[in-house]
Each structure stands twice: as C-alpha cells, then as structure tokens.
Chains A and B, each alone.
Chain A
Amino acid sequence: MADEVVLIDSWASPFGMRVRIALAEKGINYEYKEEDLWNKSPLFLQMNPVHKKVPVLINKGKPICESLIVVEYIDEVWFHTNPLLPSDPYQRAEARFWADYVDKKIYDAGRKILTTSKAEEREVGKKELIEALKLLEEQLGDKTYFGRDGFGFLDIAIVPFYTWFKSYETFGTFSVQSECPKLIAWAKRCLQKESVAKSLPDQHTVNEFVADRRKKLGIE
C-alpha cells in the first residue's frame, strides 16, 4: 500500500529542495505540486495557515511544515532506508545545530544581497554570507560530506543553497569558489548523487529567475 505523499513546493525554493532530496534518498514516490507564491492556492493556505510558506509535505492527508522538521519526519517514518540523521545523540545535536545555523544565517544574508538597491546593505549581506559559508566550510573540514557517516541531514540542509550561489555572486560581486573552494568541491560531490542532481534546478535558471524578479521589483 503506497502511503499518499504530496509535496507543495516552489521550484526555486532551497527549503523545498531539501525535502525533494530527502524523499529521493528514501526512494519515496510522491506527487509534486508547484505553488505560485504570488497567488497561493486554497489547499496550500489550508495546509499551512500559520506561515503560508513552502514546502509543505502532506502524508495521508496531514500536513507537516518547516523544511528541517519535514526532513526529520521523513527520516523517522521511512527509517529502514538510508538514515539521514546520525544515531548518536551528540552528533544529532551537532547536525541540528548547524542546520539551524544555516536557517538563521544563509537565507537572510542572501536576501540582503539580492533584494536591496543600496550598496551599503548589499555589502553587509555579502560579509555575513561569506562569514557564514566560511564557518560551514570549517565544519566540513576534510570530510567527504558534512555527515560523519556519509551524506546526511546537514548536507541536505546546505546543498540547495548551491543553486543560489550564482545569484549571490552576480549581485554581490564575489566568488564563492575563491572564498570557500572546499565548499564548492563538496557541493559538486553532492551533485554526483542522483537524489541531489534530480532535486536541484540549474543555478543559471535560478539566476535568471532572480534577475527577472529584481527587474519586476525595480531593484538595481
């Protein structure tokens, strides 16, 4: 019996990409529903009335919201395949800490770069983003993946932001490759995995989307 799994998402959302990767890692069949964030559907508003954000996973008619919470849910329900979180409580706490760090730092710093016309604000965002990426690169160290036992929760939490690097670089005028070469190498390693490759859009496509949005919003 196939559990009914529906994902409400938006193709360019790094948070949605996390869930796509987790579902692919577990080999779960699901229905993907693309949500127009500028014209939210009744189903979406019913399933996430509190935040009205993607992604939302619907399993047997019940919604689960907030991407990291969704990934943990997927890991707990489909626990027999490819564990995403480590089993050791301390390592789990570490993985959760750094995923939380990504949520607190990367997206907001990136937003500052992309959504302002003020050079000063952009510089602040750029500085914050580079600092955060360097700290993450330090956490990676010489490991193949962030997960000590292999590709896992923290890799899934971070890798979607790779698709937005081109946009951050273009509008922030810097190179992630120059600042964090090990992080780029790690991201490319992740992209060799089928679950990641099929879940992530091309960064040029994301960049075109960002450029287009900026034009519409009149951001220079």
Chain B
Amino acid sequence: MADEVVLLDTWASMFGMRIRIALAEKGVKYEYKEEDLRNKSPLLLQMNPVHKKIPVLIHNGKPICESAIILQYIDEVWNHNPQLMPSDPYERAQARFWIDYIDKKVYDTWRKMWLSSGEEHETWKKEFISIFKQLEETLGDKPFFGGDMFGFVDVGLIPFYSWFYTYETYGNFKMDTECPKLVAWAKRCMEREAVSKTLPDEKKVYAYIDGIKKALFSK
C-alpha cells in the first residue's frame, strides 16, 4: 500500500522548510499544499484545530503538527538512512535541547528586533546576535551540529539561513562578521541537494518580509 503524504506549508516558513528538507533527505514523495495564512484553508483548520499553524504533515489522513515533532516522526517512520536523530540517548537529549532553544529564542527575538526602533531595537539586536553566537559556540569545530553527520539540529537550524539577509538588513549587521563559523556551516549544509533545493532565495524572503512590514506600518 502506497503512503499518502501531504504537507501543508508556506514557502517562506523556516519551520516548513525543516519538513521539506527531512522528506527530501529520506526520499519520501509527498504532495505540497501552499497555505495562505490570511485565508486558512478548511483542511488546515481541520488538521490543526489547536494552533491553526503550518507546517502540518498529513500521513495517510492523520495529521502531525509542530515541526520538531514532525521531524522526529519522519525519522521514526522512515527509519532508513540518513538517520536524523543520533542513536545515543545523551546525544538525542542534546539535539532536542538545541532545537528547543532555537524554537524558544530565534523567532520571537527576531520579531522584537524587526518591529522595534531606536534603543529598544538595539537591545533586541544584541540579544538576537547573542543567540546565534551561542549556537556557533555549540557547533564548535564540528562540521555539523550532529558531529560528522548532517542531522536533526542541522535540519532545524539551516532554514534560518534563507532569512539571514533579512536579519542583516533589518538589524544592520553582517552574520559572517558576527558568526563566521556558523556561516561556513550553513554553506556546508547548502552543498546538500535536499537543502539547496528547499531553501528559497534570500532576496525573495526579504522582499516578502519588507512587504509585510510596509503593510503593517501603513495602517
């Protein structure tokens, strides 16, 4: 029996990109459905009634929500190589910890930096950069967060690389000045087909975000 896999997503979502990368890494065929978040489809509202957010993976009619949870699900169901999660329990706990850190810190701090100005903006900018410096410290001298192998945390973080230009432009800083090792890591990840085919063009992301900000502030 063939698996039916559907992904509800939006093209610029880093969280959605995580899933696209994982499915591509695993060679899983799926149907992609682009959602308009200002006009959510009945399917999305039915499949994620609690949070009404993307991404949602629908596997044989059953929904799985929250990107970190979806990633683990994909790794467990399609448990052939490449394995995204490490096999050692301590390493697994570390991987989960850092995805959780990314999820708790990056997006919320970005929004605060994006929507503020003056002194407040400078404070949030400082905080935002420190998050990436922490992640760079965690990476250390390893080629990937998982060590020698591209894995869970790499999948979790690399989508944010397509937003670096947006962060740099709004924050007026350069990621490769602040976190050169992290940028080198990102370029390493981009050598993987699953990643390079998934990540949208960074200028396209910026134009989209700039459009939203202009619309917000024109009210």
Contacts and interface: CB of A to CB of B under 8 A. Distances in A.
B106 interface: no
Contacts of B182: none
Given A90-B62, A90-B73, A93-B73, A64 B90 contact: yes
Contact of A97 (B69, B90, B100): B69
Interface stretch (A17-25, A65-73, A140-148, A205-213): A65-73
Do most interface residues of chain B lie in helix, strand or loop, or is the interface mixed?
helix
Interface in A102-150: 135
A65 B95 CA distance: 11
B92 A76 contact: yes
B89 A96 contact: no
Contacts of A97: 64-66, 69
B123 interface: no
B77 A89 contact: yes
Contacts of A135: 50
A83 B65 CA distance: 23
Interface residues of A, number: 21
A32 interface: no
Nearest to B92: A76
Interface in B112-132: none
A93 B93 contact: no
A214 interface: no
Contacts of B59: 90
A65 B70 CA distance: 21
A73 B90 contact: yes
Interface in B78-94: 89-90, 92-93
Given A64-B90, A76-B89, A69 B96 contact: yes
Contacts of B89: 73, 76-77
Contacts of B76: 89, 92
Contacts of A89: 73, 76-77
B107 interface: no
Interface of B: 50, 59, 62, 64-66, 69-70, 72-73, 76-77, 89-90, 92-93, 96-97, 100-101, 134
Interface of A: 50, 59, 62, 64-66, 69-70, 72-73, 76-77, 89-90, 92-93, 96-97, 100-101, 135
12 contacts: A64-B93, A66-B96, A69-B100, A72-B96, A73-B92, A89-B73, A90-B64, A93-B64, A93-B69, A96-B72, A97-B66, A135-B50
